Structure 1
Amino acid sequence: MGETFHNDAHIAVLSFPFSSHPMPLLMLTRRLSAAAPDVMFSFFGTAESNGPIFRNNDKGLQNLKSYDVDDGIPENYVFTGKRQEDIELFMEATPNNFKKGIEVATMDRGRKITCVMSDAFWWFSGDIAEEMEVPWWAVWLGGDCSLSTHVYTDLIRSTIGVGPNAIAGREDETIDFIPGMSMVPFQDLQDGIILGNLESVFARMLHRMGQMIPRATAIVINTYEELNPTIIKDLKSKFQNCLSVAPFTLNYLPQTDLDTTGCLSWLDKQKPSSVAYISFGTVGALPPHELGALADGLEASGTPFLWSLKDNQKEQLPDGFLKRTKERGLIVPWVPQLRVLQHMSVGVFITHFGWNSVLESILAGVPMIGRPIFGDHQINGRFVSDVWGIGVRIDNGVFTKDGVKKGLDLVLFNEERKKIMEKVQAFKEVAKKAIELNGSSTRNFSTLLEMVSTT
């Protein structure tokens, strides 16, 4: 290719248009597009995914535009109710739907694509970029610990074996043959690495990604370098440009961040560090009996609480719970999470250990009580509780009335709280430093921005 001037740059952003993935990728893209107004950004996802995330955003960013790609769902298709059915249908339509979208965007904007930036899940983006003779940047929305397990999947399998029989009686042995993972037991590995259906579309995609990702021109990770320096050092030795620029959601204050449910004004009336904030993310849902146990534990402990719970799950709460706790509890369908966590009255975050939630909790200096649900939650929780000591995992990974009471006592009232709070505050300082003017996240973002302007 001939010489390319920065104002001819056009970056194709390929999102994984499911669960909580599109929003952090869009937030990173927004930061880049605001800082590089001459560069065009075309963001690709399904109509269902793009619609809500672009509705309140990007009125002022002329250089950022969304394009809908085919969702892979045949006309008049009747869903069978199988888990991840919509994802599998979409994956069958890839990469051709993205290629078509890129053709449309190129024609529409009159500018060739000069770089492909994708959710790291889409390993085939490397092939698309290669065909176009442009760089591929893979964006990993989780933590470095979970990325490392995917990069090392082949080694893990050949060392441990696969299937329940391979680890029977060895569940607590750790993957200490991987840098920075000496406290992670076999049983914490994500489904699809050594346990679960290794041949599922999802497991195969992540396995292939782990093999492909070292080919990327840059890997952008949603973490602070200082959280796991050993893992980052190891990944840097494997990747061309390994850039930690957490949090992607740093500048995320769209109109929807307004206090539409009144939860912030409710928090204003509570005592400092007294409230338990509860949320299990956009996708995670607890089984009904655990939802009931969590409610019973909250009621028995007497702790004030703010609970982000969808209306259709409220009916699973114990009879009379809402009435009995209305003086000290508030349940709303949505909250501006970062602002809630940063509120002085919030003392603990009851969470699923989703990566965005973990990062936001660290940035706000709030300890966690966690109950992993799926994916990387288990390994994230291990780092929160055992490696960093800034929270606890619920006993046996299942909510019981006594387990909830015990967790709240430990994190809010016992002697243990002092130790946890000291560690949480130390990690908060690390996170704040990383995003300051000369911090690691800021420096890495500047490096990425330089790459944007020279593609």
Structure 2
Amino acid sequence: MEDKRRHVLLVPYPGQGHVNPMMQFARRLVSKGLKATLATSVFIAKSMHLSSSVGQVHLDVISDGYDELGPAAEAPSADTYLARLKAEGSRTLTGLILKHQSTPTPVDCVVYEPFLAWALDVAKEFGLVGAAFFTQPCTVDYIYYSIHHKLLSLEQVSSSSGPVSIPGLPLQLELRDMPSFIGAPASYPAYFLMLLNQFSNADKADFILINTFYKLEAEAVDTMLKVCPVLTIGPTIPSIYLDRRLQNDDEYNIDLFTLDASVSTKWLSDKPPRSVVYVAFGSISDLSEKQMEELAWGLKRSNFYFLWVVRATEQAKLPKIFMEELGDRGCVASWSPQVKVLADQAVGCFLTHSGWNSTIEAVSLGVPMVAMPQWTDQPPNAKLVEDFWKVGIRVRVGEDGIVPREEIERCIREVMVGEKGKEIKKNTEKWRELAIEAVSEGGSSDVNIDKFVAKVIKSRIT
């Protein structure tokens, strides 16, 4: 029987934290009867030896211009990489759409990471539905929207002696709560410009999809709805941990790092319930050797079990004596199946850099957090965790820019066994229930996905 399903092509920015949520969204689309193809970079596909599909999600490739050794080895600067990504990405995305035009399932819609604003231009050249998929929370998206549209100026934020109120957002934000680029735009000029340019052509998008759920950020979503066609479609984590409606959906299944799941899962298997501190700082955080040392001894001083994910390239920063004295109290792994670890009953606390994927995974799985934000959207995420959702606490940074071991110990102990920790645990249970409700049949995110699917189905004349 000829396959005539409507076809969605998903184009994430080539990074772990961007591929995972889009892959999960693709699975939801397949469950609704669409064909979904996720386009990774040539380098990612080659280095991971990816096949033509992951489950029912098809895989294909576009080029970022660095197909052989990857951008980390070949790109001389961020500016050069982003320019090459736009040029080669546009060319090869065009070729990919053309390739599918002569098949029974031509591309009907492009879901693109708004960091890749050029992907929408390509989609519209073909008259396709275009949907921006934001992998940061709605609150942060609206901050960038406000700056791009000059509703909020960098000078206004940086010169303020107190908290800044952004109309439509539920919290007053101090400079330390803003995305890191706002306080120091010159630190990463290429990436800051990329973030602001997310809205350069967003008015042409048919939908703004955001990896959040309505009740988690209701005020921010309502504010963005006044200016953008927003659909909340999250949390985009494997279905087995939420509504259980998708079969065999317990992992993201695309890992850009070498993964030996048995190291962390076996170590957790005999630990008492809620006795372990899980520590992970994502795929690109780069802590100083001094901060790694303070973190190591803070974990040890807390006297709780801990599972610490430290990328292989970062492990040389760990104190030698700390590694020698680990014993069974601690485990250092080079990578881990994070969502599976967070769902383990042994985990009682998540010490996190507050990246959005990590944050929404913890919220959805009911895991209290100690937030230690580093850059980009992590500071406002930590602010939401501590002061709005009240599901964790944020570390205090010393004048030297380092979080000392005593502070790390204090925060862990407060969340694990302190009085404030009791309230935090109650709040995590509430938000977990609301996350499950959002993706369950008839929930806000499920209804929004249906709206998106209906638009895609209507886009092609039968």
Shorter-chain TM-score range: 0.7 to 0.9
Asked whether the 8 Å contact 1:142–1:222 carries over to 2, the reply is: yes
Q: Offset at 1:438?
A: 2.5
Indicate the SS of the match to 2:390. coil
- Give TM-score, length-normalised by structure 1: 0.87
Contact 1:347 1:412 in 2 (8 A): yes
Identity within the alignment, %: 21
| Greater Cα offset, 261-270 or 292-301 | 261-270
Output the CA distance in 1 between the equivalents of 2:132 and 2:391: 29
Tell me which moved more, 14-23 or 136-145. Answer: 14-23
What is the aligned partner in structure 1 of residue 413 from structure 2? 409
Task: Give the direction of change, closer, same or farther, for the CA distance of 1:76–1:120 in structure 2 (3 Å limit).
Answer: closer
Superposed, 1:406-445 pairs within 5 Å as 406-445=410-449
* SS of the residue 1:7 aligns to: coil
Counterpart CA distance in 1 for 2:169 and 2:69 is 48
Q: Extract structure 1 runs of 4+ deviating beyond 6 A.
A: 73-78, 255-259
Structure 2 residue corresponding to 1:178, chosen from 167, 177, 180: 167
Q: Does 1:95 align with 2:110?
A: no
Paired residue secondary structure (1:23): helix
5+ long unaligned stretches in structure 2:
240-248
Query: Displacement, 1:298?
Result: 1.1
Task: From the superposition, tell whether residues 146 and 8 of structure 1 become closer, same or farther in structure 2 (CA, over 3 Å).
Answer: same
Structure 1 pair 264–80 and aligned structure 2 pair: CA distance change class (3 A)? closer
- Partner residue, 1:133: 127
Name the residue aligned to 1:15: 12
**Cα distance between partner residues in 2 of 1:429 and 1:403:** 31
CA distance in 2, matches of 1:75, 1:391: 40
Match for 1:408: what amino acid?
A: I
Aligned residue identity for 2:218: P
1:452 and 2:456 are equivalent in the alignment = yes
Q: Give 1:425 deviation, angstroms.
A: 1.5
Structure 1 match to 2:245: none
CA RMSD for the aligned pairs?
3.1
**Residue type of the partner of 1:319?**
K
Are 2:310 and 2:334, in contact at CA under 8 Å, matched by a contact in 1? Answer: yes
In structure 1, the residue matched to 2:251 is 253
Residues 257-268 of structure 1 mapped to structure 2, 5 A cutoff: 260-268=261-269
Q: Distance in 2 between matches of 1:173 and 1:76?
A: 41
Cα separation, partners in 2 of 1:292 and 1:40, compared to 1, 3 Å: same
The structure 1 residue matched to 2:227, chosen from 230, 238, 254, is 238
Distance 1:215 1:399, change over 3 A: same
* Equivalent in the alignment of 2:244: none
Report deviation, 1:281.
Answer: 1.0
- Residues 24 and 64 of structure 1: CA distance in aligned 2, closer, same or farther (over 3 Å): same
> 1:127 Cα deviation (Å)?
2.2
Taking a change above 3 Å as real, the CA distance of residues 144 and 255 of structure 1, as seen in their structure-2 partners, is: closer
Which amino acid in structure 1 is aligned with residue 29 of structure 2?
L
Answering whether residue 209 of structure 2 is matched by residue 220 of structure 1, we say: yes
The answer as to whether partners of 1:88 and 1:201 remain within 8 angstroms in 2 is no
Provide the C-alpha distance between the structure 2 equivalents of 1:360 and 1:182, rounded to a whole number of angstroms: 22
Asked whether the 8 Å contact 2:309–2:334 carries over to 1, the reply is yes
Residues 35 and 195 of structure 1: CA distance in aligned 2, closer, same or farther (over 3 Å): same
- Structure 1 stretches lacking a partner, 5+ long: none
Residue deviations 1:12-42 (CA, integer Å, cap 9, x gap): 3222113421232122123313432xx4444
| DSSP-derived class of the 2:185 partner | coil
- Which residue is 1:338 aligned to? 339
Aligned to 1:104: 99
Q: How does 1:46-57 map to 2 (within 5 A)?
A: 46-51=41-46, 55=50
In the alignment, is the contact (CA less than 8 A) between 2:129 and 2:456 conserved in 1? no
Q: Distance in 2 between matches of 1:89 and 1:433?
A: 42
